[in-house]
């Protein structure tokens, strides 16, 4: 587990001095991703200069896994961030064909496999990764990102250079001037509360999409983006029996947990007490000969605290359980560090407890397995209900009548505090109802809806067509089925939100997180099943719960569970109030030229006064302004 950096300069920009200090400086900015070691490589010829670097968190092959790693003839060089879970099987195949290895690392396996099979080898990798391979023989660099996008990769081309990095801070350092704010990135952020690939908050800085690699010609700096795994033939299990599907799901999950438990350093699990983390913890406990370490976090505010569920599982699997309760003081001490480490606006409030549980966990282990991905794999989100309900509702209720219902119910659905109860959920559902097949794009808009954002952003910053790229990539314009919803989530919320949150908060604490449910085999298998195996009526993740229900107390996996959020709506009225108020000073807003002061000021004041709870909107606004004034203005 590491972080990587690199840049290429054209011949006209080559300077014999200064390459090594620059790549070292980029490495230093992401030292938290790899505190154990670092490595650099520079090369120059008459056509270009190249520098690559990495920071290493030692997990596997602690003694001989130092990077960069070179081919035997020194003509191919790799820097790698991540873990390849099937590297032992791949290495065994290569050994049979006569390949000789100098290390026991998964990094060298990627290199040797590339030497043998070229870029076609990338699709054989089961894991989370971002790596760059410099092939001097053909003057090319290949930069790849894993199937789900668990590991980040940003890149930029301009002014005679091509730059890539695991985090924005290193890439920004290498730019000659401050980039402008991306209009598309800004609108995506205020709609979604995060910015998924290929966009970032900066114009011209691009996130490499998951399951893709860059092929960069070093002589011309021309590049292309290509899929790693393409035209995958999905299995057809439409006629499979429920019992056989249960058996296969159970086996696939057990296999995945076992493969992701390989480590030369201490390992444990995040245990929230929800379906996914409970199953992962159970499987890990069953494949280990001694009690495993489990970690959970709770809140002093009881409506957000669910540590009782994690205790049940811990007792069941006989783990060494560690429980951390956080309060407002913990937030005050860490909020700046957490939010600003994302390097761009990011408003998923669950990043706060994720950071804190990572911080506490790192005191005990170096690797933690998580339950991330279970909802996307098996259909576990409440928003999937909304998708089904929208289809039925719009067939029964004419659009004119819906408008009347929405208007009449608005006063009754107002809430004054951040409890996210039934009124909050009903209001969100009514606001996302759509008669033109676009409802799911509003359901995933956790910040501002399409119909409200234009009131708060100035016209010069508005962009109405922010989802066009995702409609094209998924080939889904009017999502209707559970399969549509899950595929959109894989491309947008999983890559842009869930995995970003876990990667940045865990790596800020030098903790490696692995998600066994994010496995290509599990994804392809789940996609092959009848949809009612995933969501049976209103029973979410039906097949996953059926596969493991005999391992837990009766009814445990059917218990409702809140999201892993934090009561930021309350905190905004208390410890963060003065800072938030500073962001609605009229002169500051006029000078900023992004927001409409006439609408954004009352929105914030209504929340602070308790007149109406606007937690999601205000937290999204607060996180943007914190980034803008603390990061963007200082570039």
For residues 136, 40, 127, 162, the Cα torsion angle rounded to the nearest 10 degrees is -60
Select which of 2, 283, 513, 623 is catalytic: 2
Residue 381 to residue 13: CA distance in whole angstroms = 51
CA-to-CA distance for 499 and 130, rounded, in angstroms? 14
Tokens of 198: 């290929």
Q: Which of 635, 623, 499 is nearest to 170 (CA)?
A: 635
Place of tokens 């957000």: 304
Interatomic CA distance for residues 291 and 65, integer angstroms: 29
Is 163 exposed, middle or buried, given 0-12, 13-18 or 19+ CB atoms closer than 10 A? buried
Buried/exposed code over 395-422 (b: 16+ C-beta within 10 A; e: otherwise)? eeeeeeebeeeeeeeeeebebeebbbee
Which residues 6+ apart lie within 8 Å of 591 measured at CB?
A: none
d(C-alpha 98, C-alpha 116), whole Å: 11
CB 73 within 8 A of CB 62: no
Cα within 13 Å of Cα(250), Cβ side: 15
Give the number of other CB atoms < 10 A from CB of residue 287: 13
The region that residue 188 occupies, defined by phi over 0 for left and psi between -120 and 50 for alpha, beta otherwise, is: alpha
CB of 170 within 8 A of CB of 158?
Answer: no
Q: Which residues pair with 512 in a beta bridge?
A: 367
Dist. CA 634–CA 449, nearest whole Å: 30
Sheet of 223-227, strand order: 69-70, 76-84, 127-135, 140-145, 212-217, 223-227
Burial 447-467 (b: 16+ CB within 10 A, else e): bbbbebbeebbeeebebeebb
Residue 422 contacts residue 415 (beta carbons within 8 Å): no
Residue count of the chain, please give it: 635
Structure tokens at 323: 């429980």
Is the distance from CB of 490 to CB of 189 less than 8 angstroms?
Answer: no
Omega before residue 617 within 30° of 0, cis: no
Distance in angstroms (rounded) separating the CA atoms of residues 486 and 494: 10
Quote the CA–CA distance of 559 and 440 in Å, as a whole number: 26
Question: Is 287 in the active site?
Answer: no
Catalytic positions, written as ranges? 2
């Amino acid at each position: 587990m590491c972080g990587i950096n690199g840049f290429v300069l054209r011949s006209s920009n080559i300077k014999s001095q200064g390459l090594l200090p620059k790549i070292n400086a980029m490495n230093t900015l992401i030292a938290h991703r790899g505190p154990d070691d670092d490595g650099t490589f520079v090369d120059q010829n008459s056509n270009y200069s190249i520098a690559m670097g990495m920071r290493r968190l030692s997990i596997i092959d602690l003694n001989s896994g130092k990077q960069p790693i070179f081919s035997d003839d020194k003509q191919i060089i790799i820097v790698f961030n991540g873990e390849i879970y099937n590297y032992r099987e791949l290495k065994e195949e290569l050994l049979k064909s006569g390949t000789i290895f100098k290390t026991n690392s998964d990094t060298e396996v990627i290199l040797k496999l590339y030497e043998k099979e070229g870029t076609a080898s990338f699709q054989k990798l089961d894991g989370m990764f971002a790596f760059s391979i410099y092939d001097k023989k053909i003057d090319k660099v290949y930069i790849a990102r894993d199937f789900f996008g668990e590991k980040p990769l940003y890149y930029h081309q301009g002014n005679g250079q091509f730059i890539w990095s695991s985090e924005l801070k290193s890439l920004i350092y290498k730019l000659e001037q401050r980039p402008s704010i991306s209009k598309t990135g800004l609108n995506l952020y205020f709609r979604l509360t995060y910015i998924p690939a290929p966009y970032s908050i900066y114009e011209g800085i691009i996130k490499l999409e998951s399951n893709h690699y860059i092929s960069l010609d070093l002589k011309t700096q021309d590049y292309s983006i290509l899929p790693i795994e393409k035209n995958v033939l999905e299995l057809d299990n439409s006629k499979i029996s429920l019992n056989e599907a249960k058996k296969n799901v159970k086996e696939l999950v057990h296999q995945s947990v076992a493969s992701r438990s390989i480590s030369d350093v201490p390992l444990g699990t995040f245990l929230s007490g929800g379906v996914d983390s409970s199953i992962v913890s159970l499987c890990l406990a069953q494949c280990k000969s001694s009690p495993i370490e489990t970690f959970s976090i709770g809140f002093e505010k009881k409506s957000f605290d669910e540590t009782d569920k994690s205790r049940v599982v811990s007792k069941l699997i006989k783990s060494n359980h560690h429980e951390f309760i956080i309060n407002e003081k913990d937030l005050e001490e860490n909020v700046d560090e957490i939010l600003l480490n994302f390097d761009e606006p990011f408003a998923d409030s669950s990043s706060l407890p994720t950071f804190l549980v990572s911080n506490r966990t790192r005191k005990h282990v170096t690797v933690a397995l998580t339950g991330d991905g279970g909802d996307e794999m098996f259909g576990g989100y409440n928003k999937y209900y909304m998708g089904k309900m929208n289809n039925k509702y719009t067939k029964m209720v004419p659009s004119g009548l819906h408008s009347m219902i929405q208007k009449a119910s608005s006063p009754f659905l107002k809430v004054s505090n951040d409890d996210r109860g039934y009124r909050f959920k009903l209001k969100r559902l009514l606001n996302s109802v759509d008669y033109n097949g676009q409802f799911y794009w509003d359901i995933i808009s956790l910040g501002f809806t399409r119909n409200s954002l234009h009131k708060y952003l100035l016209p010069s910053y508005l962009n109405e067509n922010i989802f066009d790229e995702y409609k094209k990539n998924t080939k889904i314009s009017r999502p209707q089925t559970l399969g549509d919803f899950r595929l959109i989530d894989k491309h947008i919320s999983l890559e842009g939100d869930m995995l970003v949150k876990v990667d940045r908060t865990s790596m800020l604490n030098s903790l490696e997180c692995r998600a066994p449910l994010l496995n290509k085999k599990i994804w392809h298998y789940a996609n092959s099943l009848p949809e009612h195996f995933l969501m049976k009526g209103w029973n979410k993740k039906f097949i996953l719960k059926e596969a493991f229900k005999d391992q837990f107390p009766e009814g445990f996996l059917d218990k409702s569970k809140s999201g892993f959020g934090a009561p930021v709506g309350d905190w905004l009225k208390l410890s963060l109030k003065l800072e938030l108020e500073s962001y609605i000073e009229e002169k500051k807003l006029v000078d900023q030229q992004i927001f409409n002061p006439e609408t954004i000021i009352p929105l914030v004041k209504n929340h602070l006064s308790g007149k109406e709870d606007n937690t999601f909107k205000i937290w999204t606004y607060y996180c943007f302004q914190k980034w803008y004034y603390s990061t963007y203005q200082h570039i």
